[in-house]
C-alpha cells in the first residue's frame, strides 16, 4: 500500500503555465501562417490564369485560319480573370498572324497579367 501523496499527474498550475507558453509561441507563428495562406491564394490565382490562357491559345492554334478573327471578337470572363485573345493579321510578315492571349486580373489593388504569344502562317 502506498503512503503519502503521489505525483501521478500534472497540477492545474502546471497545465495553465504550459498553455500560456504554447499560446505565446503560437501568436509568434500567426503572421507566418497568414503570409503562407496569402501566398498560396496568389499562386492559385496565377495558376488559374495560366491555365485559362493556355486553353484559349490551344483553341486558337487549331482553329481554321480563316476563322481566327471571329474567335477573338470578345473576351472570355472566368470569375474575376478576363482572358483577352487578339489576332494581328500580316504581322510580323504578310501571310502570318500574331496571336496574343492575355489573362488579366486584379489582386489586392494591383493589376496582374499573364500573356502568351505565337505566330501562325496562312495555309
Give the pLDDT confidence score for residue 5 in this predicted structure.
61
The tens-digit pLDDT sequence of the chain (123 residues) is: 455 566 678 999 999 999 999 999 999 999 999 999 999 999 999 999 999 999 999 999 999 988 888 888 888 999 999 999 999 999 999 999 999 999 999 998 999 999 999 999 998
2 part of a folded domain? no
Is residue 46 in some structural domain? yes
CA distance readout (Å), 69 to 65, 92, 98, 99, 115: 9, 16, 11, 10, 18
Q: Is 82 inside any structural domain? A: yes
Enter the C-alpha cell of residue 50: 495560366
3-state secondary structure string across the chain? CCCCCCCCCCCHHHHHHHHHHHHHHHHHHHHHHHHHHHHHHHHHHHHHHHHHHHHHHHHHHHCCHHHHHHHCCCCEEECCEEEEEEEEECCCCCCEEEEEEEEEEEECCEEEEEEEEEEEECC
HSE on the CB side for 110, CA within 13 Å? 4
Q: Residue 6: what pLDDT?
A: 60
80 assigned to some structural domain: yes
Residue 85 resides in a domain: yes
Calpha distance 23→109 (Å, rounded) = 34
Range of the domain at 28: 12-121
How many domains does one find in the chain? 1
Indicate whether 41 belongs to any domain.
Answer: yes
Q: For residue 96, tell me if it sits in a domain.
A: yes
Domain membership flag for residue 18: yes
Amino acid at each position: 500500500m502506498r503512503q503519502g501523496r503521489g505525483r501521478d499527474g500534472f497540477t492545474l498550475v502546471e497545465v495553465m503555465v504550459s498553455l500560456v507558453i504554447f499560446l505565446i509561441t503560437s501568436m509568434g507563428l500567426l503572421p507566418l501562417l497568414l503570409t503562407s495562406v496569402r501566398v498560396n491564394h496568389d499562386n492559385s490565382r496565377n495558376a488559374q490564369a495560366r491555365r485559362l490562357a493556355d486553353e484559349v491559345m490551344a483553341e486558337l492554334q487549331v482553329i481554321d485560319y480563316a476563322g481566327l478573327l471571329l474567335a477573338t471578337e470578345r473576351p472570355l470572363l472566368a470569375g474575376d480573370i478576363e482572358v483577352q485573345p487578339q489576332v494581328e493579321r500580316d504581322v510580323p510578315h504578310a501571310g502570318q498572324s500574331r496571336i496574343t492571349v492575355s489573362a488579366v486580373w486584379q489582386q489586392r489593388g494591383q493589376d496582374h497579367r499573364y500573356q502568351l504569344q505565337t505566330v501562325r502562317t496562312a495555309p
